[in-house]
Amino acid sequence: LASQPAWTGSALRDLNSPAGCPHVNGFKVDNWKQNLRVIYQCFVWSGSAETRKRKAKSCICHMCGAHLNRLHSCLYCVFFACFAKKHIHEHAKSKRHNLAIDLLYGGIYCFMCQDYIYDKEMEQIAKEEQRKAWKMLHGFYSTWEPTKRELELLRHNPKRRRITSNCTIGLRGLINLGNTCFMNCIVQALTHTPLLRDFFLSDRHKCEMQSNSCLVCEMSQLFQEFYSGHRSPHIPFRLLHLVWTHARHLAGYEQQDAHEFLIAALDVLHRHCKDDNGKKANNPNHCNCIIDQIFTGGLQSDVTCQACHGVSTTIDPFWDISLDLPGSSTPFWPLSPGGDGSALNGESHTTGATTLTDCLRRFTRPEHLGSSAKIKCSGCHSYQESTKQLTMKKLPIVACFHLKRFEHSAKLRRKITTYVSFPLELDMTPFMASSKESRMNGQYQQTVDPFNNDNKYSLFAVVNHQGTLESGHYTTFIRQHKDQWFKCDDAIITKASIKDVLDSEGYLLFYHKQFLEYE
């Protein structure tokens, strides 16, 4: 209430008043509830992109044309006007429409009472529509309201634990149980994934399996261990046992691939989660489990017939993006240093290094499939040569990039040590399907919208591999606070600089959407 200056003392008194405002009854006729819901959906909370655009275009003062000045909407007719300049007051007086709604906060103003009012039914509608809008904007994320038990705990424990820059909560080493650094490095990345952390620390998982066989229960326990404040290294023997049980190809004490473990862990977590309907989350395209909400994106594949230029489009879910590197046996697309994409993401070509943007540009470039891979065109009704292009239809909350450093072929097994420069902040806009029309021969010709943050990401974890293909070791850099980085080497955790992170070789890069991230 303190952040909303329009709410006054008398409005607060109405909260406890059994009578409330006597003038709302004149509004409560016919389909008043549905009409009020429409106003909240379209002009106040605006959960979908379509309603946000409509609000931006239509919500201007009908008298002076201003967008700001505390716009209010008349509850009796579609009329928007300024509160600060009293244009809405003039409308209320001339039309005798006594109630208006604040389009910023959703509060309802009565011109007869000359104050913001409280009505239990209206307040309930406002809360329900706000929750719906938050779910549309942030998936599973919604506004938090304390339960009675939580209110009681807050009353008895008024002091809040202060998070300082040197706080070690969440930092905990992991004992190597015998070539298990591949598991430890992924656990460190997952336990420092902001929205995954918030999910597990708020006890959102409701298990319907036997808890001793549920990997989600074990991860929940792991988060509790990490953020308990204990400093001694944790021994993840139960996690290892469950991984061996549910992903048998990873069983044994041989060194495994960290990327393979990540995908296997996400798959088992996904299978052990339940969606909102209480059904098994077997279909990655129709799942509401926490793993899919955070990690699943949509990859669009456009196959264009070279004869009729007809386009066939498919969209497939993905948990990570695997990127080819220069030095591999796969021909790497020649890139000009200092291209627009690199400049966009703050990466430098001054040393001649390949950048993450270069790899993404290669991944999303049009590829001619050749005469040996003709595809039957639905337009031509015959086999034709075609081109294929991959773009991002839907971005995940957490984008994981896998740099393909391990090459396995019939003739060759080796590690590619090519250095790839990657940024602290990444804008994925150029690689979206919506940006495809701005591509010309693999180059970008588009302007960057500084106000559009939906596609912008921040780096929060980097997994590295040292050594050879046969004998190596995994470590992880994780971000604890803004610009506070640490190196996790099994049981040992040391402070790291941003330069240490950006100079590292990089095997798995984890980025989090900026607008859903908070301290």
Distance CA 377, CA 372 (A): 15
> How many residues are recorded in the chain?
519
Distance CA 206, CA 344 (A): 42
Distance CA 67, CA 395 (A): 31
Distance CA 403, CA 509 (A): 8
Q: Where are the alpha helices (DSSP H) in 202-299?
A: 215-226, 237-246, 258-272, 290-295
Q: Give the residue among 298, 297, 314 at the shortest CA–CA distance from 388.
A: 314
Tokens for 147, please give them. 């339960």
Paired residues of 425 in beta bridges: 458
- CA dist list (Å): 64 to 60, 72, 99: 8, 13, 20
How many Å separate Cα 27 from the centre of its chain? 40
Query: Hey, which bits of 90-168 come out as E strands?
Result: 99-102, 108-110, 115-117
Element (H, E) at 140: none
- CA dist list (Å): 250 to 183, 222, 240, 265, 275: 10, 20, 10, 10, 27
Burial class of residue 447 (count of CB atoms within 10 Å of its CB; 0-12, 13-18, 19+): exposed
Residue 56 identity = A
Distance CA 118, CA 129 (A): 17
Answer yes or no: are the C-beta atoms of 215 and 246 closer than 8 Å: yes
Torsion, Cα 33 36 42 47, to 10 degrees, reads -60
Distance CA 299, CA 391 (A): 6
Cβ-based neighbours of 285, under 8 Å, separated by 6 or more: 317
- Alpha carbons within 13 angstroms on the beta-carbon side of residue 294 total 23
Q: Give the residue among 66, 64, 58, 65 at the shortest CA–CA distance from 38.
A: 58
Distance CA 184, CA 491 (A): 9
Other beta carbons less than 10 A from residue 470's beta carbon: 8
Rg, C-alpha atoms of the chain: 27
Q: If DSSP codes are grouped into helix, strand and coil, which group holds residue 426?
A: strand
Active site residues: 181, 473
Give the β-pairing of 406-408 and 413-415.
antiparallel
Mind giving me the DSSP string for 451-474?
A: T--TTEEEEEEEEEEEE-SSSEEE
